[in-house]
Amino acid sequence: MQRLVLSIFTIGVFGIPAFGHPTTWEIDPAHTNVQFAIRHMMISTVRGEFRQVSGAVTLDEQDPTNASIAATIDAASINTRVSKRDDHLKGPDFLDAAKHPTITFESKKVEKVGDTKFTVTGDRTLHGVTKEVTLAVEGSPVPIKDPAGNLRVGGEATTTINRKDFGIVYNALLGAGGMVIGEEVNILIDVELVKKAAQATATDDRATGGQ
């Protein structure tokens, strides 16, 4: 159902002041949520999430469009609040998590479309199939420092995929026509990125020449 990562994950970091050196921001899984929504029986929407996501952004702080993004989701961490349905989604009819345990995203292009808005194009691998997808990204432009001294930024990314493009074709017919499960999957990713205090200090030292 989704990187679907994915992805993902330029969010909010592009307005950070330039120090002239690439820096790495890690996805904070405790404050990141990958959600999906899909139509059911043409009358309602079923929503779920993936509970385990990891990844990082390598940022060229002089040119945010040179960012490199990679994210991974544990396919078996899917959760729709119904264990029987979750087991079905993890099985061969859908994610086939035993054979394809991860969902990944790797960026190829970042484009600025507004002060805090970007489009991120990259390769998403789901169910063993890799397809190019584009994420609409919007986030906070200014990092904040947490109580431990780490820098943090956050925001959200959205996209829509067709599950059949990734080889997930299972469905059933309704008696009056139509299909039980929709083909389009809407994805919303709320993400928080963190740069550890030690790295932030090292970056500042480089920027000031160690002064």
What domains, with CATH codes, occur in the chain? 13-207 (2.40.128.110)
Q: Give the 3-state DSSP-derived string for 69-127, with helices as H, strands as E and coil as C.
A: EEEEEEHHHEECCCHHHHHHHHCCCCCCCCCCCEEEEEEEEEEECCCCEEEEEEEEEEC
What is the rounded CA–CA span in Å between residue 147 and residue 18? Answer: 23
Across 125-147, average pLDDT: 91
Residue 200: per-residue pLDDT: 54
- Cα–Cα distances (Å) from 109 to 134, 138, 157, 187, in that order, read 9, 16, 15, 19
Across 194-199, average pLDDT: 75
Who's near 15: CB < 8 A, 6+ residues apart?
A: 64, 115, 116, 140, 141, 142
What does pTM read for this prediction? 0.82
Residue 186 has pLDDT above 70, yes or no: yes
- Cα–Cα distances (Å) from 105 to 8, 25, 46, 125, in that order, read 7, 16, 24, 6
Evaluate whether 120 touches 134 at the Cβ level (below 8 Å).
yes
- Please tell me what DSSP assigns to residue 13: G
Range in 75-79, 160-164, 201-205 with the lowest mean pLDDT? 201-205
- Cα–Cα distances (Å) from 118 to 8, 88, 90, 99, 157, in that order, read 11, 35, 32, 34, 9
Residue 163: per-residue pLDDT: 96
pLDDT category of residue 176 using cuts at 50, 70 and 90: low
pLDDT category of residue 142 using cuts at 50, 70 and 90: confident
Question: What is the length of the chain?
Answer: 211
Residue 68: per-residue pLDDT: 86
Residue 162 has pLDDT above 80, yes or no: yes
H or E, element range at 198: helix 197-207
- Cα 36 from chain centroid? 11
CA 119-97-75 angle, to 5 degrees, is: 35
Average pLDDT over the chain reads 83
Instruction: Give me the residue label for tokens 């040119």.
Output: 63
Residue 41: per-residue pLDDT: 81
Tally the C-alpha atoms within 13 A of residue 192's C-alpha that lie toward its C-beta: 14
pLDDT category of residue 16 using cuts at 50, 70 and 90: very low
Token pair of 10 as six digits: 């330029």
Residue with the bigger pLDDT between 60 and 156: it is: 156
What is the rounded CA–CA span in Å between residue 55 and residue 63? Answer: 21
